[in-house]
Structure 1
Amino acid sequence: MSTQAEPNGSDHPIEVVLVTGMSGAGRTTVANVLEDMDWYVVDNLPPQMMRPLVELVARADGALPKIAIVIDAKGRTKYTELQETISDFVDQGLSLRILYLEASDEVLVRRFESTRRPHPLQGDGTLLDGIEAERSQLETLKHRADIIVDTSDLNVHQLSAEVRKRFSDDDTPPLRLTVMSFGFKYGLPKDADHIADVRFLPNPYWIPHLRGHNGLDSDVASFVLEQNGAEEFIERYAATLSTVAEGYLHEGRGYAMIGIGCTGGKHRSVAISERVGKLLSAQTGIPVTVRHRDLGRE
């Protein structure tokens, strides 16, 4: 269950998590995932600034209800000061969760060697010297942790999934999907993960009374969707995207964009995108945003 802080009697409870642990164990990955989940992430914050930060955010009147504070050895953190700050939180009736990331010496050495960077506490010694020094400094903090995650056998995607499982709530969609209509004449969307071409359907542009309208109009949408192959394409494509979305969820991916194009991005692609978006959301339960990139072009 989430612990919450309510500094200065605020009516808006604040959820605070302190992310710490061994260098090389995955703090950056955790911070990125929490940020994608709409947490306000502060990296390398001095312990003395933790409480002022929470109090400052409280004055935002609920605009930033979830704070993740990342503490690491690179900032030369004095862990005795951090312990005192945590104790101060408790004494003041404020609560926070501590997420501690662990990994074996062998794995940490391998990770540092792969990046060709020294351990932040290594100094003139070896990698193991730095790892042992950090492990010793963090021992007391580890015992106070609410959540300990050993990342020795986890890849980036597995760690991301673990964080999402532990910190997601009903208001945090595990995956965001966007379906975007576009016109091929204006170029492909640069950030699209999938592209579908619906120029195989008759173009309403050549129907005089439909030319000045777009795929959001019922007459144009009906014309497009009643064409041979339109509904079959929509059902099969939505089913394919549902399978893809399941894979994205498994891999811990947070966002994907599907582009659906026709010639000008005003008629066919717009109507098909609207239909695919609704069907995909109904099949997966994942929020789907439908956008129309080229609808306003001349």
Structure 2
Amino acid sequence: MDRKRILLVTGMSGAGTSTVLKTLEDLGWEVVDNLPLILLDSLLDAPPPAGMEGRNRPLAISLGVRTRDFDPHRVVERVERLKDSPRLAIESLFLNCGGTELKRRYAETRHRHPLALDRAADDGIAYERALLGPLRDMADRLLDTTNMTSNDLGQWIRANYAVEGLSEPVLTVTSFGFSKGLPRNADLVFDMRFLRNPHWSADLRPGTGLDKPVIDYIRHDPAYETTMEQLEALLTTLVPRYIASGKSYITIAIGCTGGRHRSVHVAERIAGRLRQNGFSPTVMHRDLGAVPKDSLEAGPAKQ
């Protein structure tokens, strides 16, 4: 039986817990923030969320001074007992940060320290640091975020807690017709209207970019092969960089005038090349079923 992976996230208020939890959630972890200790057993015994049955998603739980009934000694005792469970694999991450930097962050965000609501932030920081000593000593990993930006912290979490099979972004290649508007949320848009247009061939017009005669017609454009090689080289460079930056969704949109011929073929070719490079894109053809209209294909594309 696979052991359930549990990550306990603790640390100084303002050290980056929110960034850690958000990044873990983007990586496919189930995340619970500020869980009261009394509810821990109920959480561990609860069935997975709807739609996640059969998937052993790792679970991240944050505990800190904002947590109701928080007692660091009780937390340590409870975690030590849970580590003996054969069905759980528990580890803990403690986020530390220098007092001067924490004070600057509180001043910058204008938030009050949870342990110094009516006093200077310095008082709350000092008290919290002493209070969390048992959790710091228990932690499997200590991370000092004093000199880290939110982006730095997110990158560190992705590098250390990505889970195979859960952390890959959703990569989509979609074709579309400019005459019907740009797709929503497209990260990269490429215009194929410079290629010879099958619409102006009476024999090819009823077909689509999935049909061989249409594909052959497009491929005979003098600019086709050079453009495809350059586009494929660009995307195989950019997609890994998008993934490394932590994007959860990457959408590549390929457009032509009507969205039935040129963009459909190019989207299929691009998706094939991405698969050859180890990615798993989903292909969508937004306007494949649209009715061809001469009025939408105006201009010098009658080739």
Distance 1:58 1:261 in 2: 40
Name which of 32, 36, 47 aligns with 2:22. 32
Gaps of 5+ in 2: 292-303
Corresponding residue number in structure 2 for 1:206: 200
Asked if the contact 2:176–2:183 (Cα under 8 Å) also holds between the matched residues in 1, the reply is yes
Corresponding residue number in structure 1 for 2:54: 62
Is 1:295 the counterpart of 2:294? The answer is no
Alignment of 1:47-126 (within 5 A): 47-57=37-47, 62-76=54-68, 77-93=70-86, 94-126=88-120
Name which of 36, 39, 56 aligns with 1:46. 36
The structure with the greater share of residues assigned to helix is: 1
Per-residue CA distance 1:259-294 (angstroms, 9 max, x = gap) = 1111121211111011112223434x3333322222
- TM-score, scaled to structure 1: 0.87
Distance 1:121 1:104 in 2: 17
The size of the alignment, in residue pairs, is 287
Corresponding residue number in structure 1 for 2:296: none
Asked if the contact 1:176–1:286 (Cα under 8 Å) also holds between the matched residues in 2, the reply is no
Corresponding residue number in structure 2 for 1:257: 251
Q: Flag as ranges the 4+ runs of structure 1 deviating above 6 A.
A: none
Distance 2:241 2:55 in 1: 32
Shift of 1:13: 2.9
Shift of 1:187: 1.0
Q: Summarize the Cα distance change of 1:41–1:208 in structure 2 as closer, same or farther, 3 Å threshold.
A: same
Per-residue CA distance 1:181-220 (angstroms, 9 max, x = gap) = 1111111122111211101112222222322222223332
Distance 1:63 1:249 in 2: 23
Distance 1:83 1:173 in 2: 30
Alignment of 1:1-298 (within 5 A): 11-57=1-47, 62-76=54-68, 77-93=70-86, 94-283=88-277, 285-298=278-291
Shift of 1:12: 4.4
What SS is found at the alignment partner of 1:209?
Answer: coil
Asked if the contact 1:12–1:58 (Cα under 8 Å) also holds between the matched residues in 2, the reply is no
Q: Summarize the Cα distance change of 1:142–1:247 in structure 2 as closer, same or farther, 3 Å threshold.
A: same
Shift of 1:140: 0.7
RMSD (Å) for aligned C-alpha atoms: 2.3
Q: Summarize the Cα distance change of 1:122–1:281 in structure 2 as closer, same or farther, 3 Å threshold.
A: farther
Distance 2:212 2:32 in 1: 48
Q: Summarize the Cα distance change of 1:173–1:92 in structure 2 as closer, same or farther, 3 Å threshold.
A: closer
What SS is found at the alignment partner of 2:66?
Answer: helix
Shift of 1:158: 1.8
What SS is found at the alignment partner of 1:118?
Answer: coil
1:289 partner letter:
T
Distance 1:28 1:80 in 2: 23
Asked if the contact 1:175–1:286 (Cα under 8 Å) also holds between the matched residues in 2, the reply is no
Larger Rg: 2
Asked if the contact 1:225–1:272 (Cα under 8 Å) also holds between the matched residues in 2, the reply is no
Q: Summarize the Cα distance change of 1:63–1:251 in structure 2 as closer, same or farther, 3 Å threshold.
A: closer
